[in-house]
Structure 1
Amino acid sequence: LRNGRLVAEWGEPHRVDMTFSVTKSFLSTVAGLAWDQGLIKDVHDPVADYVDDGGFDSDHNRKITWDMMLRQINEWDGSIWGKHYSASNPNDILRPPAEPGTVYEYSDARVNRLALALLRVWKRPLPEVLKEQVMDPIGASDTWRWNGYRNSWVMIAGQRIQSVSGGGHWGGGMWISARDQARFGMLSLARGNWAGNQIISEDWVKMARTPGKLNPNYGFMNWTLNTDHKLMPNAPADSFFHSGAGTNRIWVVPSLNLVVVLRWVGGDHFNGFVDRLLAAVS
């Protein structure tokens, strides 16, 4: 999409398919809605101040903030839905968790712990929140779905609710069409605004796009940044993408008013695609 108009598409853009860790960007958006609405007062607050299910009770885990969870620098210690935090990174078995906030490590188990924490805050299904406050207002279809696991059900206020996952590990995750992802990309491009309606605050989008100190190419999950042109050497520095396995990417270039949804492009071909597309729009 260029200047808000569909310029080209191919394949099956309406087909609903797994988007893997692009799901994390939808998860962090639900966190942003909670922050906008005062359910989370400060991203630097400890999660333990909001969640009392035992997952953040230890001296180690009590130090973990929402910001650390969102930037994947939390070093949360524990298990969730039968998976130890090291399940995503088996080498972690060889070392104890580091001090929270000192190590960047991509961990789906810890992301799932964030999803459960946000469910505790919202006290309602996160897909319901996303649909009501984001996807319906931006005109997305009703074909997408966001699943958890068979064993990720919890009781909250007398209601049995499934906690969703933040990616495709071990099942679960989000299934969504390229067309609906393009709408989410347009929302990101417009800094949270859709047709004059501020869906998520511009302040939140600014924080999400702020490089982390431990990984300058990572903002809030899964806003992947092009800091110093490291990931996309020939693309504008303001480029960013919501990223998942299989080169599932929602690529956004604010300076070119450009949104591109890619699926199942070999990772080693991504920058070649970027170069060709930039040449076409220059």
Structure 2
Amino acid sequence: MKNCKFLFCSFLFLFLSGSLAAQELYFPERGKWEKKAASVYNLDFSEAIAFAKANEYSESKDLRLAILKGFQHEPYHEILGPVKRRGGPAGIILKDGYIVAEWGDTERVDMTFSVTKSFLSTTALLALQENLITDFNDQVDYYIWDKTFEGDHNSKITWKHLLEQNSDWSGELWGSYDWADRPPSDLTLDEWRGRDLNEPGTYFKYNDVRVNVLAYSLLNVFRSPLPKVLKKKIMDPIGASTKWRWYGYENSWTTIDGLKMQSVSGGGHSGGGIFINTKDMARFGLLFLYNGNWNGKQLISEKLIEEAIQPSDPNPNYGYMWWLNKEGPRHWKGIDKNIFYAAGFGGNFIIVDQKNNIVIVTRWLEPSKVEAFINIVYKSM
């Protein structure tokens, strides 16, 4: 009887710890990925695939031209990092981890622009998990002692403010100024440059210079290049290829512990960012679908992932550099509110649906068509 009780408790522990559940999930090996026909799940994604192919991103495949046109309103904007000519529409849909739909060249490495931000925020989760950062509510200047966070305003900024893009950090980094990054069209340059700053945590503003401040701050915390951290802690364990790269700018170099290191970019609108293929993006999405677990190993704690996809106070559609499909200005109507996604310039998306065990990666889809595309996908369900 005692043995039975012991066995039952052991089983219960395994179940609650997620070990048993992890054994029942599918984790693709490096270089391999099992496919299942969508019809096995009574699904048909042919209409969605046709839609994605027919609604390719309309700007030039020469991304240098597309970038310069897309950000021509920014004063002093220039391309500082690598840029690569893009491919055509591509995508993958996963169900229970299996590939149930695929189109285009999913092995081709392309720029991914602001999808990079979700990879960047993941390195911040790792820093907290490893106690390199004690609390995201800590002020960053406690960790970074140079001039980056000097002053009455910048010294108030916490890690959480940077992750949620509501810090209103003010200054210059790698030759780029925060006030010159996506300035509002209703203000003159002098008005924008001399504006009153918002209290950190109260006002959302999408701003790549401030995202790069986060990347620089994390580089100083890890004291190791972020691509190296991401590779060792995330991309290698999930079986990603060796093809992906994470770049900064030609001038974004600093010296730490006597070694010259590049501070990477959190996006690509000045070049740089993560260059990656569709399948590796899907693996990253699958890790978040599985709440940070990969084949029984908890790479990121489930608690931290849950925290990362909570709405911020100033923006109900934004967490820690993941977009959220909550009620708000970026809500996709008719689609589950618990979906979260990474999004980048030119129509690059990683969409995670934990309720239905689905990951969708689509590339070079006209951004204004993504909501229609997602509704076509879910119509088949």
Structure 2 equivalent of residue 65 of structure 1: 158
Q: What is the SS of the residue equivalent to 2:213?
A: helix
Task: Note if 1:8 corresponds to 2:101.
Answer: yes
Q: In structure 2, how many angstroms separate the alpha carbons of the residues matched to 1:228 and 1:261?
A: 23
**What runs of 5+ residues in structure 1 fail to find an aligned partner?**
none
Letter in 1 for 2:325: N
Q: Does 1:177 align with 2:270?
A: no
> Structure 1 residue 200 and structure 2 residue 300: aligned?
yes
TM-score (norm 1): 0.97
Which whole-Å deviations, capped at 9, do the CAs of 1:144-197 have from their partners, x for residues lacking one?
Answer: 000001111100000000000000021111100010000000011111111111
**Match 1:257 to one of 353, 357, 376:** 357
Q: Is the 8 A contact 2:157 2:169 kept in 1?
A: yes
- State the distance in 1 between where 2:378 and 2:178 align: 40
Equivalence map 1:1-282=2 (5 Å): 1-91=94-184, 92-93=192-193, 95-221=195-321, 223-228=322-327, 231-280=331-380, 282=381
Cα distance between partner residues in 2 of 1:234 and 1:249:
18
Q: Is there any run of 5+ residues in structure 2 with no aligned partner, and where?
A: 1-93, 185-191
Distance 1:100 1:238 in 2: 27
Paired with 1:48 and 1:219, the residues of 2 have a C-alpha distance of 22
Name the larger-Rg structure: 2
> 2:352, 2:271 → 1: CA distance?
28
Shift of 1:90: 2.7
The answer to whether the Cα contact below 8 Å between 2:340 and 2:353 also exists between their aligned partners in 1 is: yes
- Could you list the structure 1 runs, at least 4 aligned residues long, displaced by more than 3 angstroms after superposition: none
* TM-score when normalising by structure 2: 0.72
Of 191-200 and 131-140, more deviation after overlay is shown by 191-200
2:199 partner SS: coil
Q: CA deviation at 1:204?
A: 1.1
SS in 1 for 2:128: helix
The alpha carbon displacement at 1:94 in A equals: 5.3
Percent of counterpart pairs with the same letter? 49
* Cα distance between partner residues in 1 of 2:163 and 2:210: 10
Tell me whether 90-99 or 16-25 shows the greater mean CA deviation. 90-99
Could you say what the CA RMSD is over the residues aligned between the two structures, in angstroms? 1.1
Alignment deviations for residues 30-72 of structure 1 (CA, whole Å, 9 cap, x no partner): 0000000000000000000000121012121110000000000
Tell me the alpha carbon deviations over residues 67-96 of structure 1, each in whole angstroms, 9 at most, x when there is no partner: 000000001111000001112123432523
Within 1, Cα distance between the matches of 2:332 and 2:95?
A: 19
Distance 2:299 2:240 in 1: 13
Counterparts of 2:307 and 2:180, CA distance in 1: 29
